Amino acid sequence: MSEEETKNIIIKDFFKRTVILNELDEALKFKPDTLIGIDQISSEKLIENNVKNIEELAHLSLESLPDIKEIPNNVLIKWVKIAQVLEKAIKEKTKTHKKILMIGLDNGGKTSILAVLQDKFSIIKSLLPTRGVKREKLDFFGYPILSWDLGGQVQYREKLYFNRPELFFTEADLVLYVIDTQDSDRFAEAANYFREVLKVLKELNEFPPILVVLSKSDQDIRTSLEWQNNVSAIKNKFNNIVREHENTSIKYSDTTIYQKETVLQMFSQALKTVSDTSEIIENILEDFTTTIEGKASSLISMDGLIFGSYTSSDIDEALLNNTALIMQTLSNFHNSIGLTREPSMTLDFPLNGFAIRGEKLFEYSELKIPVYLWLLSNNVDLIYEKIDYFKLQLLPLINLFL
C-alpha cells in the first residue's frame, strides 16, 4: 500500500461511516458532526458560533474558546485537539522518522536498554562499549523510529560530539539521558556531561524533551537505603542543573534490563511526550473510566507501548500497567506456541475486591499489532457497555500517535 493510501485509511477512521471522503483536502471543509464523537446538535451550536467546519474548529484558540452553553469546555477542548491533529495529518505529506538520542556516560546501560527493547536479550552479555555513534532504525511499536546511541567513552564525548555538535544534537525529537544508579562514584561526572549537553542544545537552539533514565534499578536493590539515597542524590544534582536553564524541564524514569516491562514503561512515558495524540487518548480514557466507574484504564499495544493511561491513583496505574504488560508477555508466549490469541483476558483478585480485564480493540499499522484496552475495576463487565463507542474514537488516534 502506498503512503498516500495508508494515510487515506487512517484519516477515514476519524469520520462517521456515512461520510464519503474522496479528496483528503476537502475533509477539512466538512461540518463538525461528520467527525466521530460530535453529535448533530453540538455541531449546529458550533456553526451558530461561526465554527462552520473542521478547519475552523482546529483554528480555535484554546485560550479563548467560545462559551457555548450546550458544550462543556473540556469536551470542546478535546474536539479542537482532534481537529488539529487531523489538519496536521492531512497537510503533512510524509511521515518522517522520529529521532531519539541516547546519551550518558560509558557503561551506563544505553545499548543494553535498546537491546531489551528489541528482545535481543542474548547479545547483552557480550556487548562491548559503543564506538562512536550507532544509528539504528527500530522495528518495534509499528512506528518509524531512528535511535542514535552515542557511545559514552570520554574520547567520543570530548573529541567527537562537542567538536561537531551540529552533527549529533540537532533535530532530536527526544533525548534519553541514561545514568547508572548504582555507580555513585560517577554521579558528578554524569551531571557534568549532562550540563554540557544542555549547554550545547541551547547553543544550537534545540529544546527536545528530555527523560532522565535511572538505569540499573534492579529489583533486589530498589528497597535498599543506598539505592534510594543514590536516586535522591541524582535528582538533586540534575534538578539544580535544569534550574540554570530556561525552556528546559526533565522527567525521570527507572529501568532495569532484568524486567522488560520497566524498559517498556520508560519508553512509553518518553514517547508520550513526543506524541501528537497521547493527550487526547488520555482524555478519552478518562471519559471512559469515569463513565463505567472503573479505577484505572490503559491502552497498550501487544508489543508493550502504553499509548495512555487514566487513573486517580498512581498505585492503581502501576498495578494495572504492570499486570497488563505481564499478561501480554504471557499472551505472546501462548501465541508463539500456536495457541489462539484470546480477545479478552481477565484476572480476578477477590480478596482485594477488584479484577483486571484486557479487551482487544483493534490491530494497527502494517504490522497488525493488536491493541488491548485494560481496565481495573470492581465490575469489569461494565467494560462492554461503552466499549464500542470509545473504540471508534481511539482507533484513528492510535494510528497518528507518532
Ligand X SMILES: Nc1nc2c(ncn2[C@@H]2O[C@H](COP(=O)(O)OP(=O)(O)OP(=O)(O)O)[C@@H](O)[C@H]2O)c(=O)[nH]1
CA gap 361, 289 in Å, rounded: 16
Task: Compute how many residues bind Mg ion; rule: CB under 5 A.
Answer: 3
Rule CB under 6 A: say whether 108 interacts with ligand X. yes
Closest approach, Cβ 77 to ligand X, in A, equals 40
Rounded to whole angstroms, how far apart are CA atoms 384 and 396? 20
Q: Which residue's CB is nearer to ligand X, number 66 or number 129? A: 129
Single residue of 55, 56, 106, 303 touching ligand X by CB under 6 A: 106
Q: Mask 203-242, x = binds ligand X (CB under 6 A)?
A: ------------xx-x------------------------
Q: How many residues bind ligand X (CB under 6 A)?
A: 21
Q: How far is the CB of 114 from Mg ion (least distance, A)?
A: 8
Q: Which is nearer to ligand X, 149 or 359 (CB)?
A: 149
121/333 with CB nearer ligand X: 121
Partner touching 124 among ligand X, Mg ion, none, CB below 5 to 8 Å by kind: ligand X
- Examine residue 256 and tell whether it contacts ligand X (CB under 6 A): yes
| Between 51 and 234, CB nearer to ligand X | 234
Neighbour count for residue 265 (Cβ, 10 Å): 22
Q: Which of 42, 43, 130, 323 binds Mg ion (CB under 5 A)?
A: 130
**Is residue 230 involved in binding Mg ion (CB under 5 A)?**
no
φ, ψ at 138 (rounded to 5°)? -95, 135
Angle at 366 between CA 364 and CA 367, to 5 degrees: 80
Q: What is the DSSP string of 317-373?
A: HHHHHHHHHHHHHHHHHHHHTTPPPPSEEEEEEGGGTEEEEEEEEEEETTTTEEEEE
68: partner contacted, choices ligand X, Mg ion, none (Cβ within 5-8 A by kind): none
C-alpha grid cell, residue 316? 492503581
Which three three-digit cell numbers place residue 167? 552533527
Q: Which is nearer to ligand X, 81 or 216 (CB)?
A: 216
**264 close to 306: Cβ distance less than 8 angstroms:** yes
Residue 181 CA to residue 233 CA, distance in Å, equals 10
Which residues touch 283 (CB under 8 Å, ≥6 apart)? 74, 77, 78, 81
The site map against ligand X for 18-57 (x = CB under 6 A) is ----------------------------------------
Q: At what angle do helices 383-399 and 278-291 cross, to 10 degrees?
A: 180
111 binds Mg ion, rule: CB under 5 A? yes
Rule CB under 6 A: choose which of 110, 157, 260, 272 binds ligand X: 110
Closest C-alpha to 302, from 391, 236, 368, 224: 368
Residue closer to Mg ion by CB (options 190, 345) is 190
* 20-33 CB burial, b ≥16 within 10 A, e <16: eeeebeebbebbbb
Q: Which residues pair with 134 in a beta bridge?
A: 149
Q: Which residues bind ligand X (CB under 6 A)?
A: 104, 106-112, 124, 127, 129-130, 151-153, 178, 215-216, 218, 256-257
Q: Which residues bind Mg ion (CB under 5 A)?
A: 110-111, 130
